Homo-oligomer: A and B are copies of this chain.
Amino acid sequence: MTTTKHVLKQWQNVPFTSVEIQDNFWRPRLEVIKKTTVRTCLDQCEATGRISNFSKAAGLLEGEYEGMYYNDSDVYKVIEGAAYTLMLERDPELESELDAIIDKIRAAQEPDGYLSTYFTMKAPEQKWTDMEKHEMYNGGHLMEAAVAYYEATGKRVLLDVACRLADHYDSLFGPGKRHWAEGHEEIELALVKLYQATKQERYWKLALWLLEERGKGHGKGEIWDKPEWGPAYCQDDVPVRDIEKVTGHAVRAMYLFAGMADVVRVSGDHAYVEALQRVWSHTVERNMYVTGGIGPSVHNEGFTHDYDLPNESAYCETCAAIAMAFWNHRMNLLFGDAKYADIVEMELYNGALSGISLSGDRFFYVNPLASKGDHHRVEWFHTSCCPTNLVRFLPSIGQYVYTGTHDGIVINQYIGSRADLKTGTGKKITVKQKTNYPWDGKIELTVEPEESESDISIQLRLPGWCKGYRLSIGGELVFALPENGYLELRRNWKSGEVILLELDMPVEVVRTRAEVEADRGRIALRRGPIVYCMEQQDNSHLSYDGFAISASRGVYVKHFPELLGGLTTLTVSGEQPNEPPYTFIPYYAWDNRDPGFMQVWIVEADNNQLYDF
């Protein structure tokens, strides 16, 4: 093992409220989220008893608890997502609806601060007995929602509920108190978020304590006892500082690592840094699909063995892709390396985005990379974590676009927007970003520092897929080479100065490592951040897996502003004379028309005469 010293860059998260998304790709999607997805999710939460569970727990309504023990979390996640959409435009009607729900939540909180409607109503005597029962998972989502709603509206009601809950946890758990290894991580990152909003140190310290509890034999409950699950299922098999490999349930693992990355920003514990680096490599280099999807198996909703990346049976839960973005965003802030923002981008345009229909009201829980035509988005799930994760992930993308450094700013994602940013030393600068990304690699940035001639470092992410680029300021070519994946421009910026970054965005033929059995003899097409697939709709003359393409074929690239919300297709020649062409669409856009087969990894035609004589 080589030990590398990892410098902690400690970049600053930019609040989603500082960034106004204005482009043609994301802005319309955010409008759909606001108009349709939030509405759909609120209606489903209402219809499935998720909201009335709170009223019932509070005694405001008669009736039994309905649904799964983690259903509270969905309500919290919709509130969090709805809060982000308020950034687009305040909405008194929506806010009053949310406020009413928040009142019910507050009412359902027990006098000591405890809050989990399942246990309050169904099994109060079983509180804190089975660590898999999502009590703190629910609580974590409440805290995230509370912070978001407070930041979006300035309203403290839910934040106070969250603090009372956190204080309740703090009274029960911690050094010298009782043990707890939460079965579904989430609380750790949420407590750090609550700490950041309230500056109460006890919250991040509780998060650290919860992390340190893991892997030490404290876990108790159904899954620990079942031999087919065991502690590795919920990352309770080794102390977190000793983690080497990603195991178990994918979403839980990602939330754990995100929490570790949050905590180590404050704790500075180098053992955590090393563990995060190790497990990141293991996840990304051996256990991630080309789409950014993770967790191949339906059995444990998670990881199996290295390079096990089947296509048709790929589980790739939408939540896992989103959680992968959460973790990688935090890794980017911690280490200041663009390779983590590359993964965020990969999820944004592929693995996570595929989870939602263009209409915004149908969802994938499972995101395979191949389908015979029998896998479709639906309106809701019994366990509906994915829709309610999409509804909070997508409207928050503003925070992934820009980042603050000690003496400058970072452009992490190329999304047309306007942002009011601040360096660590307090210098203010407004950035206007214009681009047709992801369809075009040209990005125009106009900077307006508050004080003219302001010495500010501006770092531009050079995406990992990009091999060639040119950079100019005010029309003049400037030389800049990437360090940690960033092109840094440092000068006394004048107001209105224009930076033009031109990224080569060719069509790429992708092959996996030879170890990935499922993709041997197959290729995929990628262009910029977009992974492509073939759908039956555009290729009706072909049958599932009954075709092949030559990697050496030229690809015709065409943008269709009206097709599936506007997208760029790729087209290649058929393999046989007079055969119709093969057309590819972005993977995220599949299954938005009539059902049919879909393939990401295409059998490669043998166009090599080499062994033929």
Contact = CB atoms under 8 A, between A and B. Distances in A.
A446 interface: no
Contacts of A244: 613
B613 A506 contact: no
A273 interface: no
When all copies of this chain in the complex are counted, the total is 2
B281 A527 contact: no
Interface in A206-222: none
Given A482-B573, A556-B479, A1 B613 contact: yes
A469 B556 contact: yes
A468 B554 contact: yes
A2 B277 CA distance: 51
A563 interface: no
A558 B479 contact: yes
Interface in A545-580: 552-558, 570-573, 577
A97 interface: no
A520 to B, nearest CB: 15
A469 B554 contact: yes
Interface in A575-613: 577, 581, 608-610, 612-613
A264 interface: no
A446 to B, nearest CB: 22
A573 B484 CA distance: 10
Interface string A263-283: 000000000000001100110
A61 interface: no
In which size bucket is the chain A interface?
A: 35 or more
Nearest to A286: B610
A508 interface: yes
A477 B281 contact: no
A407 interface: no
A307 to B, nearest CB: 11
B2 A468 contact: no
A464 to B, nearest CB: 6
A110 to B, nearest CB: 45
3 smallest beta-carbon distances between A and B, as pairs: A468-B507, A506-B506, A462-B554
Interface of A: 1-2, 244, 277-278, 281-282, 285-286, 462, 464, 466-471, 477, 479-483, 485, 487, 504-509, 527, 552-558, 570-573, 577, 581, 608-610, 612-613
Given A286-B610, A462-B554, A506-B506, 15 more contacts: A1-B612, A1-B613, A464-B552, A467-B507, A467-B508, A468-B555, A469-B557, A470-B556, A479-B556, A481-B554, A481-B581, A485-B554, A487-B554, A504-B505, A505-B506
